[in-house]
Amino acid sequence: MSDKPLPARPGAGTLEARLAEILRVDHAGELGAVHIYQGQRAVLGAAKGKERLAAQLEEMEGHEAVHLARFDALLNQHGVRPTMMTPLWRLAGFALGAGTALMGEKAAHACTEAVESVIEKHYAGQVAELSEREPELAAELAKFRDEELAHRDLAVEEGARDAPGYALLSAVIQAGCRTAIRISEKV
């Protein structure tokens, strides 16, 4: 999804179809985020001397779980099916989290920064798009965006940009996130 809000699409049922895309992709994103943190915690959570980091990861995973639960409810409320990519996104999220954690604490933070940077822009575009047509949902998305920004900022403070191969790692993760967004809206 681009950084610019999409114009309203003409025709009957288009608002419902677009809302379904938004709910489906946001559900998928939060599901992926939960699994990224689970993967990171699987590697770093029990590591000696990493108790502070484990607590941070657990707290951020908790935020994502709240977001996911809300999107579960919204999918049910609006009769929208989740993406058919759900099993793959679970696996990919966990693998991304565990893989970056195996690369080290700073790489795990670089993963968080990369993902949350894409998600922040994604949510900002949706907030702008929905602000007049679905103001209550737009307000919820703005709140979620603020929490994602807090995760990103914490990751930067914790040394994300000092990760080995940071620029490449960040670029690959961001490209993957943008691709997953496009796929999850439709599939």
Inter-residue contact 40 to 94 (CB < 8 Å): no
Q: Give the span between the Cα atoms of 35 and 41, in whole angstroms.
A: 10
Q: Is the pLDDT of residue 13 over 70?
A: no
Q: Give the span between the Cα atoms of 5 and 122, in whole angstroms.
A: 10
Q: Give the span between the Cα atoms of 67 and 33, in whole angstroms.
A: 10
Sign of torsion, CA 101 172 149 141? negative
- Give me the mean pLDDT over the 76-90 stretch: 95
State what percent of residues in the chain have pLDDT above 70.
Answer: 93
3-class DSSP state of 4: coil
Q: Give the span between the Cα atoms of 68 and 38, in whole angstroms.
A: 14
Supply the pLDDT for residue 16.
87
- What pLDDT band is residue 7 in, cutting at 50, 70 and 90? low
- Give me the mean pLDDT over the 88-111 stretch: 96
Supply the pLDDT for residue 8.
52
Q: Give the span between the Cα atoms of 128 and 52, in whole angstroms.
A: 36
Q: How many CB atoms lie within 10 A of CB 68?
A: 20
Inter-residue contact 23 to 78 (CB < 8 Å): yes
Token pair recorded at residue 21 = 């895309």
Q: Give the span between the Cα atoms of 50 and 115, in whole angstroms.
A: 22
Token pair recorded at residue 20 = 């379904």
Q: Give the span between the Cα atoms of 117 and 127, in whole angstroms.
A: 16
Tens-digit pLDDT profile for residues 100-149: 999 999 999 999 999 999 999 999 999 999 999 999 999 999 999 999 99
Residue type, position 103, single letter: M
Going by C-beta distance under 8 Å and a sequence separation of 6 or more, which residues neighbour residue 94?
35, 36, 38, 39, 42
Supply the pLDDT for residue 6.
52
Supply the pLDDT for residue 3.
55
Supply the pLDDT for residue 4.
55
Nearest to 154 by CA among 116, 99, 118, 120: 116
The pTM of the full predicted model, rounded to 2 decimals, is: 0.89
- Give me the mean pLDDT over the 18-34 stretch: 95
